[in-house]
Amino acid sequence: MNPTSDKLFDLTGQVAIVTGTSRGLGQYFARALAKAGADLVLTSRKREALADFAAEIEAMGRKALSLELDVRDQASIERMAAEAQAAFGQIHILVNNAGCNIRKPALEVTWDDWNQILDTNLRGMFFVSQAVVRGMIAHGYGRIVNVGSVTSVFGFAGLAPYGASRGGVRQLTMSLADDWGKFGVTVNCLAPGWFRTEQNKVLYENKEWVEYISDRIPVKRPGQPHDLDGAVVFLAAEASRYITGQTLLVDGGMTTGSTRATVAPKP
């Protein structure tokens, strides 16, 4: 593809898989891609949880295919990829959004906690990418966007396994970019800063914590979901065709190293 400048962000005619779209940021990513013209494959562990959102995407004039996917189950991954390929013929974009977190002090993390987080956030991401990229390679084109986190580059107490998984996402992104670039597939990591999600909503109920985290962000506020729209479309579009293996932090400047607030309140 060699689009003119007015087509750099146009996804018309393309198909995107977004994992974990029953709620949260996954829906915002899917919605942003649909607004840019893409048809969607929506996934969740329970297909019925996608019904309302699929109807919303279709009301925008886009196709929306709802598929079950458990990223901790290899058979489920392979089945989703095959069904998506069969339905659309070509998958152009994959947004690896599905993830989980268990917030605990490191001394309280159990073996099962660790496995649940790493299996979902890292192992699942790799095998979903592997299953979907086969079709991308066959067509000589693909965009893979791995959703990481500010914890991909920063450490935070109470998030040891989560931070390990997101740091792994950053490294995985670079390895896959090197592996698959020769096939016309780019792989990048989109790393949000502090955004309110189902995983961390309890933190946002603490006014002192919100003030603390806002003070550490140069733009003086946590992120809003629509702040990610431009980044996900950019990494999915031809505008980013010569960018691969990179981590794009959308964090309001938090990773500039601002440490104005010195004592964090308890969540």
| Tally of CB atoms within 10 A around 98 | 24
**Contact at 8 Å (CB) between 16 and 33?**
yes
| Token duo for residue 67 | 């598929």
Query: Position of tokens 């069904």?
Result: 83
Is residue 162 among the annotated active site residues?
yes
CA distances 186 to 109, 141, 206, Å, are 35, 8, 39
Active site residue: 141, 162, 204, 212, which one? 162
Terminal alpha carbon distance of the chain: 48
Burial (CB < 10 A; 0-12, 13-18, 19+), residue 249, is: buried
| Tally of CB atoms within 10 A around 104 | 15
Q: Tell me 265's DSSP state.
A: P
As annotated, the active-site residues are 162
